[in-house]
Amino acid sequence: MPHQTRTPRSAGIVRMIAEHTVLGNLYDLRFTFSLLVVLIICAATAMLSVSNVQERHRESAALSQQANHTANLENRKLVLSTPSLSFLFDGQEDRLPKYVIVTPDFIDYPIEDISARPMIEPYIRVDWAFIVIYFYGVLAILLTFDLISRPRESGTLAMVLSQNVSRGIFFLGSYAGAFLTLGPAVLLGLLIYSLVAHLHGERASTAGEAGQYVAAFVLSLLYMSAVALMGLAASAAFRKSASALACAFLVWASLTIVLPAGASICSNLIAHVHSFNDLNTRIGSARARYLSRLPAVWSMDVERILGQPGLTQQGKQEAIARYQQEILEKDAAAIEGYKREVREQRADYLAKLKARDRLESQLGIISPAEAFQQAVESALGTGMKHWENFVRSAETYEPAYTQYVTEKRSQLTEKANFEGFIMEVSGVRVRSVGWIDYRSVDFDRKTLPPFQELKPSIRANFVTAVPACVVLICINGLLGLFALWAVRAGRVL
């Protein structure tokens, strides 16, 4: 019975403190001014983001057309499309390759000359996630850094706790009040963002996409909650509000900016990938080996065949034809051996890059901002997740392309570009081939097997978002426990 009477009373006190906190925030000029600025930034960011996405759509369409036109029997380029909700979170798609190169038995990525890159790499994203992490994050800290320290400074905390209100209840009420202030602020921001995007032609067109919007909102709230708990913990740990503010900002900046950078450096040190120059050197060695395996065409061999006693003219022609066939077979074997070595080296290099990237995202996930980004990326199917799905689609397509190319090459061998030389000895011509290039062979491109990008279902996207979401919830839990401990252990007066 005492427990039953205590619970409604505790709930009532929590509600009272939460209401007081919410009202205090709403009347605080600092909060209302900051929120107004954030909402304006939401609208501006939405316009910029939509403009970027639409530009990327156009570029992707133009590149796809160009890729279809330039597909050949050496390779086919498959262009990355732009996912529908990437204006919410684009996952730095500008830094990802725009296309993959499908060759027989291998999928490669483009290698660009760095002088062809733009001056600024768009590594500061302009999207909803950017607003949540940087602007709403700062807002959450401004809201919560003095929720405990200011009542302590003014003496109110002592009076409240003397009313038989436990510190835990006070903390819970303050947290609830902060959450109830930030939640509607985030919702308002997302509504403005969506409205501006809608007016510029980007919107959720299916129920599934609407569900993804809701997922982005829920994940934003989880992130905001983590930052609010950071602010509350700092507020409880420091006596002066200014010190609490400085600490909260430093912790936020460390977790948001420094920790991901540290994860990148650590992953580079732990899972070091040999430089591209090293790969180039290995490919150079493979090339030297392939050149040494190319058979030499000697005039004395040809003369020896022609000078064989007892051979008729037809016999000589057949002998020369056999010699030629032997040369071409050895040429083809050397070329194939080189290609195999290059594929192995390249595949090894790409696998190491992938392992390093995976380690980086695993190390960085302890940052709430990184966990939030990974969860949103998975839920929306944009950024790296979109890229991984695209590569899987290309891997599914590659066997069909290989089969098609093998058949076509056998039909159109004579039209290929044979790099090498022809030696003429005593009126007989023998060819030595250093490389066979099918790029310029003309064929009907409409007969190429069609490429279909596999788009995972919304449900599959949500499932892949679960681990990052769980990490975000755990971060909330840990920060909450720490904040609670700080409140319980801190001085009241």
Partner 1 sequence: MRREAHLTGLILLIARKRLALNLVSGRFVFVTLLLLATMLGSSFVWQRRLSEQRELYEAARAKEAFAIDDARYYEQVRLGLHKPPEPLSVWASGAGELFGSSVLVSGKYGSPRITAREKFEAGSHLDAPDFSRLVILLIGLLALLLSYDTICGEREDGILQLCVAQPASRLVILLGEYAGCVVTLVTPLLLAVAAVLAIHLPTNSAALSREEWVRVGLIVLASAVFGSALIWMGLTISAAVRQSSTAFAVAFVLWVALAILSPNVSLWVAQRMRPIPPSQDSLSSDGVFGLRREGPEETASPERQVESQLRDEALRRKFEQAAVNDFLRLWTPTGAFLALAQTAARTDVESHRNFLARGRALDAQLRAWQKEKLRLYPERETFYKPSWGPLDISGLPASPSVSTGLDASLTRTGRFWAALICFNGIFAAASAVAFARYDVRFQ
Smallest gap from residue 247 Cβ to partner 1 (A): 8
What is d(CA 108, CA 100) in angstroms, rounded to the nearest whole number? 6
Can residue 348 be called a binding residue for partner 1 (CB under 8 A)?
Answer: no
Q: What are phi and psi of 256, to 5 degrees?
A: -90, -35
Q: Which of 90, 146, 202, 370 binds partner 1 (CB under 8 A)?
A: 146
Can residue 293 be called a binding residue for partner 1 (CB under 8 A)?
Answer: no
Q: For partner 1, which is the closer residue by CB, 124 or 493?
A: 124
Q: Does the CA dihedral 205-208-210-215 come out positive or negative?
A: negative
Can residue 407 be called a binding residue for partner 1 (CB under 8 A)?
Answer: no
Can residue 77 be called a binding residue for partner 1 (CB under 8 A)?
Answer: yes
Can residue 66 be called a binding residue for partner 1 (CB under 8 A)?
Answer: yes
Can residue 359 be called a binding residue for partner 1 (CB under 8 A)?
Answer: no
Q: Which of 16, 43, 63, 320 binds partner 1 (CB under 8 A)?
A: 63
Which one-letter amino acid corresponds to residue 307? G
Closest CA to 132 of 210, 21, 217, 28: 217
Smallest gap from residue 45 Cβ to partner 1 (A): 13
Residues in the chain: 493
Q: For partner 1, which is the closer residue by CB, 63 or 161?
A: 63
Query: Do the beta carbons of residue 382 and residue 90 sit within 8 Å?
Result: yes
Burial-class residue 20 by CB neighbours within 10 Å (0-12, 13-18, 19+).
middle
Q: Which of 15, 198, 287, 392 binds partner 1 (CB under 8 A)?
A: 287
Stretch of residues binding partner 1 (CB under 8 A), selected from 259-267, 367-375, 403-411, 465-473: 259-267
Sites for partner 1 among residues 9-48 (CB under 8 A): 30
Can residue 105 be called a binding residue for partner 1 (CB under 8 A)?
Answer: no
Radius of gyration of the chain from its Cα atoms, rounded to whole angstroms = 33
Query: Do the beta carbons of residue 320 and residue 305 sit within 8 Å?
Result: yes
Stretch of residues binding partner 1 (CB under 8 A), selected from 61-69, 157-165, 197-205, 308-316: 61-69
Compute CA distances 159 → 22, 138, 152, 156, 163, whole Å: 20, 30, 10, 5, 7
Stretch of residues binding partner 1 (CB under 8 A), selected from 194-202, 338-346, 395-403, 477-485: 338-346
Can residue 119 be called a binding residue for partner 1 (CB under 8 A)?
Answer: yes
Smallest gap from residue 425 Cβ to partner 1 (A): 17
Can residue 324 be called a binding residue for partner 1 (CB under 8 A)?
Answer: no
Can residue 97 be called a binding residue for partner 1 (CB under 8 A)?
Answer: yes
Give residue 142's Cα distance to chain centre: 31
Can residue 156 be called a binding residue for partner 1 (CB under 8 A)?
Answer: no
Compute CA distances 62 → 9, 66, 213, 371, 394, whole Å: 65, 6, 29, 34, 19
What is d(CA 153, CA 157) in angstroms, rounded to the nearest whole number? 8
What is d(CA 367, CA 223) in angstroms, rounded to the nearest whole number? 10
State the residue for tokens 């990802």. Answer: 96
Can residue 110 be called a binding residue for partner 1 (CB under 8 A)?
Answer: yes
Q: For partner 1, which is the closer residue by CB, 257 or 319?
A: 257
Can residue 385 be called a binding residue for partner 1 (CB under 8 A)?
Answer: no
Query: Do the beta carbons of residue 70 and residue 308 sit within 8 Å?
Result: no
Q: For partner 1, which is the closer residue by CB, 1 or 300?
A: 300
What does the angle CA 40 – CA 44 – CA 49 come to, to the nearest 5 degrees? 145
Can residue 254 be called a binding residue for partner 1 (CB under 8 A)?
Answer: yes
CA dihedral of 169, 171, 174, 175, whole degrees rounded to 10: -110
Q: For partner 1, which is the closer residue by CB, 4 or 277?
A: 277
Smallest gap from residue 259 Cβ to partner 1 (A): 11
Q: For partner 1, which is the closer residue by CB, 205 or 362?
A: 362
- Per residue, what are the HEC states of 122-159? CCCCCCHHHHHHHHHHHHHHHHHCCCCHHHHHHCHHHH
Can residue 283 be called a binding residue for partner 1 (CB under 8 A)?
Answer: yes
Closest CA to 224 of 125, 142, 132: 132
Q: For partner 1, which is the closer residue by CB, 321 or 347?
A: 347
Residues of this chain that interact with partner 1 (CB under 8 A) are: 30, 59, 62-63, 66-67, 70, 74-75, 77, 79, 95-99, 101, 103, 108-121, 123-124, 134, 138, 142, 145-146, 240-242, 245-247, 249-250, 254, 258, 261-262, 264-265, 268, 273, 275-277, 279-281, 283, 287, 339, 342, 345-346, 353, 357, 435
